[in-house]
Structure formats: C-alpha cells, structure tokens
Structure 1
Amino acid sequence: MPDPRSVPAPVIDDAFDWAATPFGAAAAWPSALRTAAGMVLHSRQPMCVMWGPELRLLFNDGYRTLLGARAHDGVMGQPFRAVWPELAGPVGPMLDDALRGHATGAVEDQPFVFHRNGYPEPVHVTFFTSPIHADEGRAAEIAGLLVTCLETTARVAARRERDDAMERLRLLDEIGEATRVASEPRAIMEEATRLLGEHLGVTRVAYADLEADNDRFTIRHDWRVPGAISTTGVYSLDLFGSQATSNLRIGRTLVISDVDRELAPGDGDGMFNSIGIKAIICCPLVKGGRLVAMMAVHQAHPRGWTAEELALVEAVVERCWAHIERVRSTEALREADRHKSEFLAVLAHELRNPLAPIRNGLELLRLGDGGREQVARVGGMMDRQLSHMTHLIDDLLDIARVSSGKIVLHRELADLKRIVSAAIEGAMPAIGAAGHDLAVDMPDAPLPVDADPVRISQVIGNLLTNAAKYTPRNGRIRVAARVEEGTAVVSVSDNGIGIPPESLDAVFDMFTQVARHTERSNGGLGIGLSLVRRLVALHGGTATAASAGPGHGSTFTIRLPLADALQPAADAAPAPPLPAPAAGRPLRILIADDNVDAARSLADLLALGGHDTRVAADGAGALELAAAFHPDVAFLDIGMPGMDGYETARCLRGLPGMQSVRLAALTGWGAAEDRERSRAAGFDHHLLKPAVPAEVSAVLAAA
C-alpha cells in the first residue's frame, strides 16, 4: 500500500485503498473528506483532519513535531482525546461545536504542557478550524474538520519578554520618580525596597552599606511582608559562607535558588535559615574596585530566579546608589557650608578674644603711672594673648599646607619619649593654669621613630592642650607611651566632658568641635584634631579617639611605626652664641610697611636701642630713602601695594653701595616655597609677622 503522504492530492483517491486502512471503509468517506486528507498529507504545514463524532486524527509530518514521542503510526485514526488528553478540556468543546457547525475560526495562543522529548514542556498553540462537508445533497452535514495547528511558544515568549521589559521599565521609572525628590537616604531605601519587593512578590528586600573595614556590612533598612522578621543590623560578610563572600567581594551577584540544596552544611546555610531565607538574590555594588553596598532579595521558600529578575535587581541597586550618592553629596555640601559659616563665626570670636585684653593693657599703660611692676604685669598679659593669636594663625597655615600637600617633614631617627617630654613641657602652662593633675607613664626603653620631632611634638602638644581645654578645672590628664606589635603608641586621656559615640570620628573633621561651650573662650577653631590626624598620617601612623560618652572623659591615641634602634648620640655641642652688634655702633635701619602703625612701632622699638631709623609706606618710598640714607639693615614688608617686597629688595640690591645691606622680609607667609622666594629676591632673613623681639635682635646681630 503506497504511503498517502507521498501521493499528490489530485490522484490520492485512485492510489489509496481506503478500505485497507484503519480510517474506515472508502465508501464511508465523502469525497470532500478524502480531498482534505490528501491536502493534509501533502502539505508541509502542521495540519490534520479530524473526522467523525470521535474526531479521529489523520496528520502529516509537520504535526508530528507537536505530538513528539506520541507521533507513531499506531496513533493514526485514534480519537483526538485519546492522543492529546491535555487538549481535551480547553480545545475539545470548541472542536465539538465546530463539528456540529456551531463555531469555526481560531483559538489563539492556548497554553499547554506537552510531554515531548521525554519531559514536560510548556508550549503555546493556535488552532485554525474549517468544516469539511459531506457529499452534495447532504450539504448541511459536516463529516469532519480541517485543522491547522501552529505552535506559537516563541511568539508568546517574545511578547511576554517585551511586556516584562516594559513592566521593568515602568518599575524603574516609578522608583526613579519616587526617589527623585527624596531628601535623605532612608526615604530612598524605603521606596525602592518596597516597590521591588511588591513587584517580585518576595518575602523581604534589604539594602546594606559596607563598613570601612570591607568585612562588616550594615543593613540600613528592609522591606518585608507581614510576619517576616527584620534583618536590620551589622553583620560580618563571612557569616554567610564562602560562596557569598567570594561572589560579593568581586562584584558578582549571588544567586541561590535553594539554600538547603546548594549550600554545604555549615557554609552559610545556618545564617540564611536563621533569618528565614531559602532563596536569595544578593546584588553587590563595586565602585573604584571596592565593595560599597548591596541589595538582597529574600524568599522564604525555594525559587528559581529568572535572568530578567536578576537584571532588574541589578538595575535597581545601581539606581538606588546613584540617588543615595546624590542625596549624600547634597548633604555633604550643606554640612560643609554650615561648617564654613560656623568656622568664620568662631574665627572672629577667637581672634577678638585676645584683642580685648591687649586693648585693655594698652589703656592701662596710657592711664597708669608707668611703674615697672604694672608694666611687667601688663606686658606679660599682652605677650600671652599675642602668643595665643599667633598659635591660632599658625594652626590655620599648617592645616592649609597639609591640605594642599605643601608641608615638608624634616624626618630623623628620634626617641619618641624625648618628643613627648618636649610636648609636655610646652603644654604645662595651659595644664597648670587649669589646675589639672598630670600623670606620665613612659617605658624605660627608648621608642625609636623615624619622624619630624617638631611636628610630632606639635601633635602631642595639641592633644594635651585639647585635654586641658575640655576638662573641668582640677581634672586629671594622663599621658602614656608603650609598644604594641612593632608600633609606638602614645595616648592622652582625661576625665573631661567626653564625646558622644556617633562623633568619635567626626572630631577629626575640619572645623569641628563636638561640644562648643560659650564659657570656653579658648575653645579654638576646631582644626587642631584635624591637624593631628593629618600630620600623623604623613608619618605613616594613625590617630583615633575613644570615649565612654558625654561626661566620661576621652582618650586620644596615636600610633607610629617603630624604627631601628637608636644609635648612642654624642653630647651635642652648644650652639654658638649670636654675635652681638659692635659696642657703641648704632645701625642705620630702614623699615618699609604699608601698615604705618606697625612700621612706626618697630622704628620706635629700635630707636630705644640707639639705632637710627627711617620709615617708608611703600616700595618706591623705601628706594628713595635708601639712596640717601644708605641703611645697614632694611626690614621690608612683602605685601606692599604697587611694588611688593620682592621687587623692592631686588631694586635695593641694585642701588650703588647697597650690595652689603642686610635685608629681612616681614610676611605672614612661612611655607618652604615662600622662604625660597625670599632668598631668590635677595633677602637674608625671613620673619613671620608678628616678629618676636629675639628674631629682630638676631637680624641686627648678623649685621
């Protein structure tokens, strides 16, 4: 018997012995049904004929693809419901109605689970039906159905993917709109986690920041369904097992569909189960090669995550971070602006405080009888206040140099014990004035460090004066030094006002004072501790603060790398004394400064020593005076208008007979590059304003 699928449709009736087939006697088949059968068997489209009340099947090779393993020859002629029981419910009634002539047309994209290729497979199918009528004379009777069956799984998947993509975009837009106007990070976290959790239908969504040690992370906020526990708090990354740790640290999203199956016992499963997690997506965010944040989606039961769900979580965490960084940057700018305004107010306050006693002292000298005791007392007071102002200005200059990287360390192998002793000596006036008790605990052995002794002494001195300021009168201050694992450690403790826990790191920020008290007029500018941390960092060390809280005192600790052992040092030879000016030989001294009061007061002071002085208010006037006066020494202000001090010095050196004049710069700038510029201009000395009498005397002695 020939295969009917190999016979052209026009001759199928002649070539095919219907009586020998399981399809029924040839006489029982109307010609229209036989013609339809020939068309089906000849077509490459997935088509079939269903005939009779039982809707028996005659199908072609295209249809075999849908039948899968069931497409063997024995299926031919079997009832539709027996061959495809999974279609009997959704499609059977429609086919019965079509057979009765009540309905024809298409049933589109019906979802089914077909058992083909040996396992269940979800597919979508569209059916197109047309009636096959009996022979002429019985036109109302329908003998069977011509069915074209197309699998539309790919089309449905593409449409679903498009719809899902649109839904993801709508969700991301909704998150963006909800967080766009947020003014604090928590509001962004709340909205983003809620919207994502509701969209995915999960148990919990948590957002976490990594701590500075890159090991612990803090869950700031989590959205969760009713009944689920909160996971906010601080955790170690290692608690969640090796898979979580290795993935997240390199920025790879952690995906677990079943905690109990995919994690080895003791390798994170206990931690996940303790917070009610059976499936998780944890998306890390790596910036600048460092893990900075992550978002976790938790499910209380096992769940197979799709690629689209992973992409959605990754997109949400990226957008959340962008919004949070925007808010934090805005907050940082506002905070910096507030600190700047506060600093300017404090600067004005701190600079005015010494001016009041100086003005009062001047008035006392003007109105008093000028007795030596009164002059000595007032002069001492004015000198202390001037020193305080100078210290404030020096701190400002130092922090500017450190911030701009212009500070130069003069490092040497030194004993940290000697440096601490020098710092204590310098801070004793402030400690003693407040009536504090100072305890010192030093080891017997030296503490060798490779450091700039002046700068480290400045660091420890700042900590000591800070303790003196913020400890109530008659308090206790303790300085201790020790060695810990190859590091020299110096701590300064007090029983003063203490520091709130949340401010322990902030005290090292620029222009920050944790507790400003109006009764502390010597509170400073809030830059001393910032200078401490930066100077210590330049030495490869660290500076930290500790406190049990307000009212419980503070401890500031610096750590510096230990150096090789100190070499025994020979007794230093005393410095040679500065040469004194020749006896009975007064000097001709020229002073140029646009601050007339400063110039005349210095001239008067020098005149008391028997020197002949001239004063000019600008560079041009100084050159005119020098041509006739021929000074031995000239003090030139650098910041004069028009012709500055540098240009005046160069021109002065060019005048006849002025090559040997001793030039001293008066300036408020004291960085290394400022001193180098002075030397290049021809200056012999570089004095910082206000010049102390000893420095002025040294200039005269050198002349």
Structure 2
Amino acid sequence: MTKAGGDAEEQNDASGSADSTTAESWRQWENFARAQQLGQIGWWRLDVTRNVLTWSAENYRIFGQPIGAPQTYETFLETVHPDDRAYVHERWTAALHGEPYDIEHRVLVDGREKWVREKACLEFDATGALLGGFGVTQDISERKHAEIALQWGVRRNELLTRIAARLLQSSDVQGVVEELCAEVMQFLDCQAFFNYLVDEEGGCLRLNACAGIPEDRAREIEWLDYGVAICGTVARDRERIVADNISVGADPRTAIVASCGIKAYCCHPLIAQGRLMGTLSFGAKTRPAFTDAEIEVMQAVSQLVSMAMARLRMEQALLEADRRKDEFIATLAHELRNPLAPIRTGLLVLKRTGGQGPNAVRVQEMMERQVDHIVRLVDDLLEVSRIRSGKIELKRERLDLRDLMDQAIEASQQFLDANGVSLTVVRPDEPLMIDGDPVRLVQVIANLLSNAAKYTPSGGRAEIAARRVGSQVELTVADNGVGIPTDMLPHVFDLFAQVDRTLGRAQGGLGIGLALVRKLLRLHGGLVEARSDGPGKGSTFVVRLPLALGVAQGGPQPQGSRSAPRVLIIEDDDDAVHSLSMLLRAQGANVRTAFDGKRGVEAVQDFHPEVVFIDLGLAGMDGYEAARRIRAMPEGRDTIIVALTRWGGETAREHVKKAGFDLHIAKPTSMGDIERVLDFRR
C-alpha cells in the first residue's frame, strides 16, 4: 500500500511537474510574444524541404496581413513599396548566394508608408543548396522618420544659409532671385516659381523672374493688377495663400497657374519694414499639395529675399542721401558766396567813400537785396527743420483762394520781372473758400511762382489759374521753361532735389522750395503734383486743397450743428499720415500729427484730442504702449482711441479691444471708416 501509495504519490508528483512545466513554457512564450509586440519585432521561419514559410503574429501585424494567411515570397514582395521592390529582390537574390541579408526598406500598409528592417540567417547543405532560414523583421518607422526629418532639417538649414550668404553679398538682389529659386525648387521637388515686384509708377505688379512655364506665357502675365489671380490677391491683402488640388478646384484665382499644369501652389508676400516689395511663389506639377515643412521653407526664403531687398533699398537711399548732401553743401556754399561777394564789395565802396556820394544809396540798396536773399535761404532751412520736427503750427482761418493768389503774385512779381518772365493770371469767377493758414498758403503759391521764374529763360511765360473741382479747389502754375525729365518727376518734391544741378544759374536755390510746398500742403490736407512732357517742354504744378466744409457740402452749416473734432494721428508712415489727414480734414476735423509714440503721448497733454488714431506697428514705443499711456493720462481718459493695423477681421477687432482701444480700422483707411469713427464720437 505504502509502495502503491508511494507509487501513486510519485505519479501525482510527476503529473503535477509536467503540468507546471507546460504552464511555465506558455508563460515564457506569452512573455516572448509580448516582448515582440512591444519591440515591434516579428520573426519568420523558412523550411525549403517542406516548402513551408512560417510568420509570427507580430510579423503579420507589421506587414498588415491577416494572421495565419499563407505567405510566399511573391506575396511578401507585393507589400514592399514599388520604389523599393527592385532593391529588396536584388538583396534577397544575393543572400541566396551566401551574402548577408540585413536591409532597410519601405512597405505599404493600408496605403500608409512604413519602414522596416529585415535581417536573416540562411542555411545551406554541403552542396550549397538552400535548406531554409530564420529571420526577424522590425518596424523602424519612428526612427527612420526621425532620421529623415533630421537629415531634411540639416539640408534645409544649409540651403537657407547659402541663400542668406548669397543675398548678403549681392548688390543685385532682383538679378539673383532666379538662381536662388532654382536651388529652392530642386530642394522642394517643385517645378515652377514666380517672382513679382511692385511697380511704383504703374501701381501694379511686374514679373521679375520665373521658371517652369513657356516664354510666351511669361510675356502674357508680365503685368498683374492688385487683386488679380493668386499673386495679385496676395499683394493686395499682404497674406500668404496656399492652393491645393488646383486641377480639381474651381477657384478663379488659380486659372493662370492651372493653365501652366501646376497642381499645388504657395505664394508669399515680400514685406520688410511694413513695405510691400512684391510676391514670391512656388508651384508643383507632380503632386497635389505641399507639406507644412515645405511651406515653412518657402516662407523663410521669402523673408530672406524681403530683407535683402530692403537692405539694398536702404543702401541705395543712404548713397542717394549722401550724394544729395554733398550737392546741397556745394549749392549752399555757392548760394551764400553769390550775395556775400557784392556785400563785401559794397562795404569796401562805402568805407572808401565814407558812405557819401551819388553811388552810396545804390550800394546800400544792393546790399539790402543781397542780405534779404541770405535771409530767405536761412528762413527756408529753418522752415524745413520746424516742419520735420513737428514744431510748426497752422493758424487757420476762412480764406478766399483769390486773395491768396493776389498776395503771392505781389510777393513774386519783382522776381518774375527780374528774370524776364511774363505772368498770365486766370482768376476764378466765384469765391473759392478754404480753411488754412494764410501766411503758409501764400508761401506755397509764391514758391511755385518763384520756381517757374527760376527755370524759365528770359522772355518766357508763366500762368497761374484756379478753379473748383467737386469738393476741392485746384490751382495750377505752368511755364514754358526748361521742363522736367521723366525720371526726375517722382523726385522733384524731395528735399535738396533740383532739376538743374549746375551751379551756374544765378538763382539756383537750395532745392528746398518744392519740398516746403508739399509739406505745407500736407499739413493743410492738400497735395501737389508735377507734370512735364520732358526737357525743354515746360512744367505744370497742380495744387489741390479741400474746400471749406460748408462750401464743400453745398452751403453753410447751422451754427453748433457739428463741432470740429480735435484729432491726433500717431503714425510713422508719411504717406499714411497724409492720406488720413486729408480724409479727416475733409470732414472738418482739426488735425495734428505725431510721427512716433513718444511725441504722440506728449501731444495729448497740450492738444487734448477727442480722437486719437494710433498705428500699432510704431517703431520704438509701439501703438499698444502709446495707447496705455494716453489712457492713463487725465487728458486721455475719455479720448476715443482707434487702432490702425494692416490686418482686419473679427479676430483683429477682439485683439485690439482687449488692449484698450475703442475701435479698429484696417489700412488703407476709407472715408467710410472716418465717418464711422466720427459717428462713434458723436
């Protein structure tokens, strides 16, 4: 019994031991399978003698196959990425001849690209015939994608570094754009690019460089208006546009690029220091879209090109300013030497004659004229300085333009007669009432008459005329003198600019008169334009000023019906200040301007404005800080503060509202915007 019992116990012990071993084996197998899954590693076993290929469950998952589905080399090859099949077959064939099999390649799983690494150990008999083998497969997609991204990032940085260096060294940025964009196209695997530049005179875009389209097509789209096609829209709105799947879309803006076979397109504005210089865009013909990383590269290239163009413009502006400075100094020396020479001679004559004799009175009169000439030169210099520093103040009153014309003609008649220039006056039949500073406006008209006398040969003719045009008055001063070259027309109102740069003219001046004319007119909400058919064909200067508010609206307004609001503009862009001032003054506003945040805050203390327009992108103290300081002042507590930005929409309004602004206006400002602000004030 004991033996039997013992035998029974031994049998039970043996049975329990076998069960335990089996359970332990299953636990180890489960752990191994779990480790395979966590490591994304599968295995396969090939038995040639039985013609059996066995895959692990993880191998099926890696290749996206149903677990247990029969596998052959051919079905495996079908899962390999088409671009990698030849390589995989080549390496497997080499492995069958004894070479190592350790490769990385792509597979397609449910249309998604994955990377795998395969490693195998094959077994051969003594004759070299294949018996079978064992191999492992690992999903390395995450590592591979990280490696590819890293390599792509290195290449991207190298590309941008080369472009930045090339642009920094170039003195012809527009000329090297085509070369640089060709390199970008190769990097991004795209087939077209377009570079448009702003044509200041034509008010449109001009194609500077392009690639990937026929020459005749490029000639057809050489000029592009703002708002037309994608590039024109980007230039108008100053915002990037990305267009995908163009070939199947219906957006009319993509018609031009679609006709060139482009399927994906991205266009960036070229902007630096708030100034639009053009657009830069890239297009792909072989794929429907660009990746976010590729668009970032395009944006970086666009920013580099923008900064290079801005740098070149600044360098050219500095060179031009330096040249004008030298010319101004030479002209100033000449202009001062001319009157000083006869003054010195007159002093010697008076000294020798003791101030007596028949010529003494004539000498004294001559010296007085020359001193007056020097005083005029100094006054012009001081006037420019006052305007540029914002220290000039207009003493406005209701004026008839006819009276201003008479006063200016009286002040200029002697100069016209001395130069032998006859003047024709065409007076308007009706009163042309304007609001302005009489001294400054007479100075404007007199400067234009003096300019006509200065640049018209003896025996020539000049004419001054005025008329009403809608809600404005238009005054013209024309002559049949030396005329203005076409390339000089945009610059005649620049400080120290002169059409005739020779120093031989007796009344050459300092190149300040016309600059003063434009600046004084802008303070009055007016403008001036120069016209000429070229050298020797005379010139015409056209001045436009807003009629007084009651006159412009067809009759006087009831007293007290609408008070003239005090409005302060804080803006560092001269053209923006000018256009906004014109709109406000057309509504009868009393306008003051400041060209930076600090001066704007100071102006609030003594001007006490009811409305303040502030550009958010001010240099130094930005618009947000200026608004905060104004709001904290007693004078600005109840002031309406309006934000001027280059971006619009509901998001923009919410953003500036949180910053403490009452209203938000997107540039460029319209008359409707002004009326909305003034209605809000009322």
Change (3 A) 1:300 1:336: same
* Residue aligning to 1:46: 42
Q: How does 1:436-451 map to 2 (within 5 A)?
A: 436-451=421-436
* Residue aligning to 2:174: 186
| Identity fraction in percent | 32
The 1-side partners of 2:155 and 2:105 are apart by: 23
* Residue aligning to 2:229: 240
Of 65, 72, 78, 1:79 maps to 72
Deviations 1:208-233 (A, max 9, x none): 444669973344x3153695465695
The 1-side partners of 2:223 and 2:480 are apart by: 31
* Offset at residue 558 of structure 1 (A): 2.0
SS of equivalent residue, structure 1 residue 162: helix
1:331 aligns with 2:324: no
* Residue aligning to 2:521: 536
* Residue aligning to 2:660: none
* Residue aligning to 2:134: 146
SS of equivalent residue, structure 2 residue 449: helix
Of 152, 163, 166, 1:164 maps to 152
Of 60, 65, 81, 2:61 maps to 65
The 1-side partners of 2:93 and 2:179 are apart by: 53
* Offset at residue 446 of structure 1 (A): 1.4
State the TM-score, normalizing by the size of structure 2: 0.68
* Offset at residue 344 of structure 1 (A): 1.4
Change (3 A) 1:53 1:127: farther
Of 127, 131, 147, 2:122 maps to 131
The 2-side partners of 1:199 and 1:184 are apart by: 23
Change (3 A) 1:301 1:42: closer
Change (3 A) 1:42 1:537: closer
* Offset at residue 65 of structure 1 (A): 2.1
Deviations 1:280-331 (A, max 9, x none): 3211244566645432224566653222221111111212222332333233
Letter of the aligned partner of 1:65 in structure 2? Answer: R
Change (3 A) 1:90 1:171: closer
Do the aligned residues in 1 keep the contact of 2:247 with 2:262 (CA within 8 Å)? Answer: no
Task: Tell which deviates more after alignment, 423-432 or 144-153.
Answer: 144-153
1:489 aligns with 2:486: no
* Offset at residue 526 of structure 1 (A): 0.7
Q: How does 1:538-553 map to 2 (within 5 A)?
A: 538-553=523-538
* Residue aligning to 2:381: 396
Deviations 1:504-532 (A, max 9, x none): 22221111113223431211001111111
Q: How does 1:589-608 map to 2 (within 5 A)?
A: none
SS of equivalent residue, structure 1 residue 102: coil
* Residue aligning to 2:88: 91
Do the aligned residues in 2 keep the contact of 1:215 with 1:238 (CA within 8 Å)? Answer: no
The 2-side partners of 1:189 and 1:140 are apart by: 62
Q: How does 1:258-273 map to 2 (within 5 A)?
A: 258-264=245-251, 267-272=252-257
Task: Tell which deviates more after alignment, 122-131 or 367-376.
Answer: 367-376
1:106 aligns with 2:102: yes
SS of equivalent residue, structure 2 residue 248: helix
Task: Tell which deviates more after alignment, 490-499 or 151-160.
Answer: 151-160
Letter of the aligned partner of 1:558 in structure 2? Answer: V
SS of equivalent residue, structure 2 residue 482: coil
* Offset at residue 279 of structure 1 (A): 4.1
The 1-side partners of 2:305 and 2:329 are apart by: 36
The 2-side partners of 1:300 and 1:474 are apart by: 68
Letter of the aligned partner of 1:124 in structure 2? Answer: W
Do the aligned residues in 2 keep the contact of 1:240 with 1:271 (CA within 8 Å)? Answer: yes
Q: How does 1:296-307 map to 2 (within 5 A)?
A: 296-299=281-284, 303-307=288-292
CA RMSD of superposed structures (Å)? 3.9
Of 260, 266, 283, 2:268 maps to 283
Letter of the aligned partner of 1:71 in structure 2? Answer: P
* Offset at residue 455 of structure 1 (A): 0.3
The 2-side partners of 1:448 and 1:176 are apart by: 57
* Offset at residue 133 of structure 1 (A): 7.6
* Residue aligning to 1:405: 390
SS of equivalent residue, structure 1 residue 126: strand
SS of equivalent residue, structure 1 residue 410: coil
* Residue aligning to 2:240: 253
The 2-side partners of 1:301 and 1:80 are apart by: 32
Letter of the aligned partner of 1:323 in structure 2? Answer: A
Change (3 A) 1:366 1:288: closer
1:461 aligns with 2:446: yes
* Offset at residue 376 of structure 1 (A): 4.6
Q: How does 1:175-254 map to 2 (within 5 A)?
A: 175-186=163-174, 189=177, 192-200=180-188, 202-210=190-198, 216-219=204-207, 221-222=208-209, 224=211, 228=215, 230=218, 234-240=223-229, 249=236, 251-254=238-241
SS of equivalent residue, structure 2 residue 429: coil
Q: How does 1:566-581 map to 2 (within 5 A)?
A: none
Task: Tell which deviates more after alignment, 538-547 or 397-406.
Answer: 538-547
Q: How does 1:471-550 map to 2 (within 5 A)?
A: 471-550=456-535
Change (3 A) 1:141 1:234: closer
* Offset at residue 484 of structure 1 (A): 2.7
* Residue aligning to 1:155: 143
Do the aligned residues in 2 keep the contact of 1:354 with 1:389 (CA within 8 Å)? Answer: yes
Specify every segment of 5 or more residues in structure 1 that has no aligned partner in the other structure, as ranges.
1-7, 16-35, 569-703
Change (3 A) 1:256 1:564: closer
* Offset at residue 368 of structure 1 (A): 7.3
Of 393, 416, 420, 1:435 maps to 420
Change (3 A) 1:374 1:150: same
Change (3 A) 1:502 1:381: same
Deviations 1:2-31 (A, max 9, x none): xxxxxx9x979x99xxxxxxxxxxxxxxxx
Change (3 A) 1:258 1:215: farther
The 2-side partners of 1:379 and 1:395 are apart by: 24
The 2-side partners of 1:214 and 1:49 are apart by: 75
Do the aligned residues in 2 keep the contact of 1:110 with 1:125 (CA within 8 Å)? Answer: yes
Do the aligned residues in 1 keep the contact of 2:227 with 2:234 (CA within 8 Å)? Answer: no
Deviations 1:476-522 (A, max 9, x none): 22222222331222121222222222222222111111322343121
Do the aligned residues in 1 keep the contact of 2:197 with 2:205 (CA within 8 Å)? Answer: yes
Change (3 A) 1:337 1:122: same
Which of the pair has more CA radius of gyration?
A: 1
Deviations 1:395-420 (A, max 9, x none): 11111111111112111111122112
Change (3 A) 1:245 1:393: same
Deviations 1:417-460 (A, max 9, x none): 21122112211122222332322233222111110011011011
* Offset at residue 71 of structure 1 (A): 1.7
The 2-side partners of 1:559 and 1:54 are apart by: 101
